[in-house]
Structure 1
Amino acid sequence: MFFQSYQKEFIYTGIVLLFLLVTRYFINALIGKISKKNGINLARTHLMQRYVSVALFMLALLIIPFIFGTKANDLVVLFSSVFAVIGIGLFAIWSILSNITSGIIMFLSFPYKVGDKIKIHDHDFPLEGIIEDIRAFQLHLRIENGDLITYPNNLMLQKPVTLIKKDAIYDVLDDGTDLI
């Protein structure tokens, strides 16, 4: 009886979900093409594709209640309550959100890529190294002595950075040792 009385709503929900899945496919394919064209790390590409999937999932959670007849006022009360609780909880972990946001910004407009040798002009802790990976929360730098440093993305956008050498990771001396 339940399924018969809401048959039309289930059909519309299926159509919306199918549309969002197709949209996800095309957006992810576009992100893949842009990433390949610009030489963006595969891990960063997959991260952005996950962000798109989460955003489309959230959009589905917003649309589907309207299909079943939920009033906008009811959703406003629900979402404002949920966002207030989430906001209070996330305020305590703002640095994580800052790093995620910085990771998105770095994906879209970061002038350096994996393999570049950079110098971070931090007054307290200056660094010079080769970028090994750019992740959602941090950048991996290999410094001269071989140590791997993880540097938070939000600090990467706050500190001045100098490009020392593009694709330094691919430079090799005649004797086969890496230049770092």
Structure 2
Amino acid sequence: MDYLNDFTKELIATGILLILVILSRLIVSKLIRSFAKRSQTIEKRTRLVLKYIHLLMNIIAVIGLIIIWGVQTKDIFIVFSSIATVVGVAMFAQWSILSNITSGIILFFSFPYKIGDYIFIHDKDFPIEAEIEDIGAFHVYLKTPKGEIMVYPNNLMLQIGITILKHPDEEKEFTD
């Protein structure tokens, strides 16, 4: 019983924080899903972006809990700086992965083309004409006119010029 008396403020603040996290996750999920519907975004991509945003919200909630329960700030900074150093070294070695994840999120919110679009990628060494089959967290899957499936990194989709073409099937006239 002494525990409840000693930590009443912390328990109430923890309860309020948990309620705020749950409510904000619900509100953010609804907002992102409505944005995805308006922009005709694939459900798979929407779930991926929600996963990233929920992870960020959980990290912020953990930081809030640490502050509520009175962990010393210098101890928090030591832990976070150690984690940031390890993650920074690992991500520096894998910058391409981080770049593709970031590009995937950017493409979700401002994607000028969608699945089913027929595109031409203006790569001077290897120009590509293909249809977008799928858009993932790291790659875009393209189908060439020969039926080959190509995997193209998301970060290059932002760096290289792309033209949206008419689909070859649209140019054919069908008559009876």
Same fold per superposition (TM over 0.5): yes
In structure 1, the residue corresponding to 2:146 is in which secondary structure? coil
Structure 2 residues not aligned, in runs of 5+: none
Given the alignment of the two structures, is residue 105 of structure 1 paired with residue 106 of structure 2, yes or no?
yes
Deviations 1:109-144 (A, max 9, x none): 121111110011112221111111111100011110
Give the Cα separation in 2 of the matches to 1:18 and 1:154: 37
The residue type equivalent to 1:132 in the other structure is E
Match of 1:73 in 2: 74
Percent identity between matched residues is: 42
Query: Does the CA contact (< 8 Å) of 1:116 and 1:169 recur in 2?
Result: no
Runs (4+) of structure 1 exceeding 2 A deviation are: 1-8, 71-74, 168-175
The residue type equivalent to 1:65 in the other structure is I
In structure 2, the residue corresponding to 1:10 is in which secondary structure? helix
Deviations 1:50-109 (A, max 9, x none): 111111011011111111011323212221111011111121111000000000111111
Length-normalised TM-score, structure 1: 0.88
Matches within 5 A, 1:153-168: 153-165=154-166, 168=167
The residue type equivalent to 1:101 in the other structure is T
**Closer, same or farther: CA 16–170 of 1 in aligned 2, 3 Å:** farther
Structure 1 residues not aligned, in runs of 5+: 176-180
Report how many aligned residue pairs link the two structures.
Answer: 173
Given the alignment of the two structures, is residue 35 of structure 1 paired with residue 32 of structure 2, yes or no?
no
Match of 1:119 in 2: 120
Match of 1:136 in 2: 137
In structure 2, the residue corresponding to 1:136 is in which secondary structure? coil
Match of 1:88 in 2: 89
Give the Cα separation in 2 of the matches to 1:170 and 1:29: 37
The residue type equivalent to 1:30 in the other structure is L
